[in-house]
């Protein structure tokens, strides 16, 4: 039996099998509502970002490093469940690691929990320094 005949036989079989197959997602199904289900509230967030030149921003507003902790304390006192994120631009004109470490150290000394954010793409996605909340 030539190979081309076998290929056409298999192709015919699979086309016929797909045509007569019952689709499970088309079956009517009633789902139960869970008692705890509902809309979840997204906690407020404060984002600290470091741009390519090393300037520090709190929610897109420039802020001096000395004023950052008091402003965050004020926000955390008003809304204690606020999540603080640190993000940095990928490319820069100088090494920003010392600035980042100083910022992270100041937040750690102040007892402010921080979540790290990275840009999505081939290198990775978002990460969390403290694990899931």
Q: What is the mean pLDDT of residues 60-72?
A: 88
Q: At 15, which helix (H) or strand (E)?
A: helix 3-20
Averaged pLDDT of the chain: 76
> What's the CATH fold of domain 45-117?
Nucleotidyltransferase; domain 5 (3.30.420)
Asked if 88 contacts 96 with a C-beta cutoff of 8 angstroms, the reply is yes
Residue 35 DSSP one-character state: T
Q: What is the mean pLDDT of residues 49-66?
A: 83
- Taking CA atoms, 132 is separated from 66, 103, 124, in Å, by 29, 22, 17
pTM of this prediction? 0.56
Domain boundaries, the chain: 45-117
Which pLDDT band, with edges at 50, 70 and 90, does 132 fall under?
A: very low
Q: Is the pLDDT of residue 128 over 50?
A: no
What is the C-alpha to C-alpha distance for residues 79 and 83, in angstroms, rounded to an integer?
A: 10
Q: What percent of the chain shows pLDDT beyond 90?
A: 7
Q: What is the mean pLDDT of residues 118-130?
A: 46
């Amino acid at each position: 039996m030539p190979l081309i005949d076998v290929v056409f036989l298999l192709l015919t079989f699979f086309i016929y099998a797909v045509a007569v197959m019952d689709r499970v997602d088309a079956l009517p199904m009633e789902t139960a509502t869970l008692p705890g289900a509902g809309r979840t509230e997204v906690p407020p967030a404060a984002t600290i970002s470091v741009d390519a030149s090393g300037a520090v921003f709190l929610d897109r507003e420039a802020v001096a490093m000395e004023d950052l902790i008091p402003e965050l304390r004020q926000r955390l006192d008003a809304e204690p469940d606020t999540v603080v994120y640190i993000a940095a631009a990928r490319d820069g004109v100088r090494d920003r690691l010392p600035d980042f470490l100083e910022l992270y150290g100041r937040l750690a000394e102040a007892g402010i929990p921080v979540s790290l954010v990275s840009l999505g793409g081939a290198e990775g996605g978002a990460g969390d320094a403290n694990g899931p909340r």
